[in-house]
Structures are given as structure tokens and as C-alpha cells.
Structure 1
């Protein structure tokens, strides 16, 4: 029997690949560069790709167009990839919209723009406080029954919302829950989310497992971020918080140095292995725009019990400065 995680009824790698970096940054990345990175991910077994209807800086749908070009250029990849696509946001107002009409429009739009006949995993990005869950999930269930959606994934939600989703859709139709988990985002272990995922055997797709690049050690000050980079808006990247948060990176850099691995590899190994400690499958969904970064992040690193305990001690003594997001976006978390 395989010990690989299963998403939407298909085996996926121990790590997944988040695609926002390709189209969510100020600089344009050429298709050959993108395709090289995507093929590298697949060749290393990372076949769980995570996209979004709003993952574009210039055009919100650029990530969907990119996928269409990729699957056209590499038709065999379309059968290998287990694709998750996020929707449920009004990108003009930056507010959740899971009204039945909005969800139907999004699902049909994603199918059309990606050129695929089915969305393996359909993910609602944030909980819409206006539309009742029953109304939103009725649409999801309709599309699952029609075969256009393979499974559902709630995102940034509370333990209570996960439990309601199971009650409305059935556990068999929920392939994972998408949540931020990293060395500086450990709330899932404190707010009941991990316990409910463990109860129902639902894997966690852990996005931003490297703190949007902060936890890789590549940034030593906010000035290292390109002008126009969206991360300049995030609280933890603000100049007044940057230096304090860098202390965490410096502490884990020392462990990585002794281990003979990069800080990125250590951070991803911790996210994956802490799931085993807590009794739940956690799949780190990292992002990277360069082929070399993808290959680096997919190298296998195993932390010893002593190393896990040492990291645990660091996390108990360190508290990140600033919220995970900024402004009103912070209020959308764990609803």
C-alpha cells in the first residue's frame, strides 16, 4: 500500500507546487522559464499544483492562461497534474464572494480558461460571511455530481467551518483544507483545526510554508524586495517588523548549517514532519519561479527527533511581529 497522500482520489507527492509566483510579481517570466519549472516539479513527483482565478498582477486570470499554454505545450502533463484552483473572491473589492451566481461563473470560467474538462480540486479562498455556507456548498455539490469538479477544498477556515463542510458535502467530497502553515504560522495547532482534520482524515495543504520567501533567508532587509512586490504590504515585511522577524531565520539558519541543508529545505521538512507528529497529513505547497529553486525545494531532507525538538524550543520562545496579512485581509482568516 502506498504511503503517498491522496487528493481527489489520486496520489500526489509529499510536497505541492504553488503557482502564484509566476504571474503575481511585477516582472514578467517567459513561458520557457515557467514550463521548465513546472516540468521540474513534475519530474520530482510534485504533481499537486495550486492555482487561483485571481493569481495575476496585471490580469487576475493570468495564472489560468499560463496553465492553458502549458497544457497545450505539454499535453501529457495535463494527465499527471492534480490541479487545485481557488476562487470565491471579488478581486475588485478584495472581499469574499461565494454567492451561487459568483461560484457558477468562476467554475465555468476556470474550466474555459484552463482548457480542462474538470477541476480536480475547487477551493473557496475565504469564507463569505454574507452568503450562508449551505447555499455556497450546494453549488459545489452540484458541480461535483456533474463531474466538473472532482473535490472541494475550503481555505483559511475555522474548525467549525470544516465540520459544517463535512456535514453538508460529505467527507468523501473534501480532499484537503488549505491553510497557512510554516515556522511562523502555527495557529492551526492551537485553534482546533488540526484536531478536526485528524478526526476526519482530511489532509492540510499548507500554503506559504516558507513565509512568502521570508523564511528562506534570502532577504536581509525590506530593501531586498523588488519595487512593486506585493509582499511590501504585508505586516511582517514592514521595516519596523522586519528585523525582529529575521531573528527566527537566523536561529533556524544555524540548524540548517549543521544539517548541511538550506533554510528552505529545513522549513519544508519541518512543515511536512510536524504533520506526522500531530497525526495529520500536511502537504507543504511551496512557490518558486526559478527552476533551480524548484529543484532545491524538492530535495528530500529528514529532520531527526532531536532537530525537531530543537526547532520546537525555538518556536516556543519566538513570537512573530505583525499579522500574517494586513488591513482588512487579516480579518478574513480562520472564519
Structure 2
């Protein structure tokens, strides 16, 4: 079993964004049922965000409901929450004041139902030196028992190397999927391997697209902000459907769902020489989808190579994020 900050977690984790950061948040009963299924299925590395939703309904308020109902699950789950940004403007803020505000808010909203195991800034704030940000986190939160460890989110290889000299980094959250294999070649995966840092791989199903759920660009509109992403604009979307078709054909050959194949490919990348442990964290808002995603499909070396060939030969249309969103900080 993989470990994060010395805690055993399942080979597949769980992304919480979809519950609360969308035009129509998931009903509470449905969300709690999905979270319970994740625990029962071994998906025990959970990843949320302070800004995933509103001040009244977000990752922490949802989790407070869950762990109030199932307090016995608190020690089974390893929880990562991102923060370090102004909740109104979304401007990055790694200053001591900004970090205190963010961490205090996260911890207070959890209400003592679950210890915060890992905290990361959503992006690196280059206006504040890492040693300043980490110093506040270490002295005021880790050393006092309020927090388990520091994590990183959406960073480049240089930041990973710099951060690893300053603190023990519990995990690095970066995007990895057949649509976004960049970290495998841009030094990020190599840096994590060098410092023995596991990768928490978000959007392993390409924000749902690799599951085959979207066949027309109009179907993306109900999923909030991703409808503004370059890859989900009409021309790019129609081009990218070609990769979806490849995935569906490969999944049919394997006898699994396209989502399971996409997750399995991401997981398999952590088994290659020179790679760190890679834990996919797909999101799902129903118990049924959680069960599907939790079934880790083992790929043979030949199957991985076949998928690699498809991924390497396909040129994805559109950037991962709109220009207004910083990446690889």
C-alpha cells in the first residue's frame, strides 16, 4: 500500500472539488453516501480546497457533516486541503497573515471532527519567500499539533527542489491524465522521485471527458467553470473527442470502463523506473461512480506501452487552464 506522511492510503484517492464547486452543489445525503463508499472502497486519501464552494458550503463544511456522522472514519482518512488565497479575489497570499487566516479558517470549519493532515497553498505566491510561508506553517501549526505536514500544489520542478530543502514535503498535487501527461517530461515527476515525494494526481479522467460522459460541447455547460477552459471550447472539444474514442476502444478491449482505464494508466506511471509513487485522485459525486473509480485495473506492460503510444502521438487541442489561472508555479 502507498503511504503519505507515514499513513497508509489506498492506491486510488479521492478529489472532493465536484461536491461543492459547481452551479448546483451535490445534495448532502448523496455526498455523504459517496464519501462513505470511498472509505469502504479504500479511497482514503482525500483532497479538498478552502475555496471549493462558498463560505457556507465547501470542502470543510461537507467534511464536518460527514465526520460528525461517522467519527470512526476520521483516523481512516488522510486529508489534504488547499488554501493560501484570498477567498473573494482568489489572489494568491502566502504571507504570514494570509497563511494564518487560511489555516485558521480551514481548521475552524472542520470543527474538531478531523485533523488536517496536509495543507498546501493552491499555487505558489512568488511575492512571499517559501521559507517565510513554510516557517509560519511549521512553527505555528505543525509544531503545535494543529497540522500534520506541508504539501505542494500545481508547482514546477524548480519549486519542488527548493521546497524540499526547506521542509519535509508530504505530497505534490499536480494534474496527470492522458490529456495532460506533461509532468512526466517537464521534470516534475523526476523531482518528486529524487526527493521521494508521492504525487497526488488530480483530474486523471480529464475532468470527466475521458469517461465518455461528454459527447457534445453543450453538455459541459452545467459543470461550471470548466466550460471556460480552452480544451472545452467547440473546435478544441471536437478535436479532443478523438482521444476519447481511442480510450473507449482500448477500454472495450480490456473489459473495463473508460474511466477505469484512464485511472489505471495514471497509476501505472508510478511504476516506471525513475518515477515516484503516483496516486490518482478522481472525483465522483455518487456512490455508484465511486465504486467504479475505486476498482484498480491492472495493466500489463504491453497494454501500458500501447496506451503510451496513443498518448504520445495525440496532440491535445487547447491549454489546461484559461490564461487568467496560474499554472506550474
TM-score range, shorter chain: over 0.9
Query: Per the alignment, do residues 228 and 32 of structure 1 end up closer, same or farther by CA in structure 2, a change over 3 Å counting?
Result: closer
Quote the offset at 1:94 in angstroms: 2.7
Query: Per the alignment, do residues 228 and 207 of structure 1 end up closer, same or farther by CA in structure 2, a change over 3 Å counting?
Result: closer
Give the corresponding residue for 1:306: 302
Query: Which structure is higher in helix share?
Result: 1
Matching residue within 7, 11, 18 for 1:10 = 7
Quote the offset at 1:235 in angstroms: 0.8
Distance 2:196 2:48 in 1: 24
CA contact (8 A) 2:20 2:57 kept: no
Q: Deviations over 1:99-124 (max 9, x none)?
A: 11010111111111012363101111
CA contact (8 A) 1:53 1:61 kept: no
SS at match of 2:282: strand
CA contact (8 A) 2:117 2:149 kept: yes
Matching residue within 270, 280, 285 for 1:284 = 280
Q: 1:334 and 2:305 equivalent?
A: no
Q: Which segment drifts farther, 233-242 or 27-36?
A: 27-36
CA contact (8 A) 1:182 1:209 kept: yes
**RMSD of equivalent CA atoms:** 1.4
Give the corresponding residue for 2:103: 107
Give the corresponding residue for 2:144: 146
Q: 1:47 and 2:44 equivalent?
A: yes
Instruction: Note the residue ranges of structure 1 that are not aligned, 5 or more in a row.
Output: none
CA contact (8 A) 2:192 2:198 kept: yes
Distance 2:32 2:282 in 1: 17
Quote the offset at 1:60 in angstroms: 7.1
Q: TM-score, normalised by structure 2?
A: 0.96
Quote the offset at 1:59 in angstroms: 3.8
Give the corresponding residue for 1:267: 262
Distance 1:35 1:206 in 2: 23
Instruction: Note the residue ranges of structure 2 that are not aligned, 5 or more in a row.
Output: none
Give the corresponding residue for 1:162: 160
Q: Deviations over 1:63-102 (max 9, x none)?
A: 2111111111111111211110000122322321111101
SS at match of 2:269: helix
Distance 2:209 2:16 in 1: 17
Alignment of 1:71-86 (within 5 A): 71-86=67-82
Q: 1:216 and 2:224 equivalent?
A: no
Give the corresponding residue for 2:313: 317
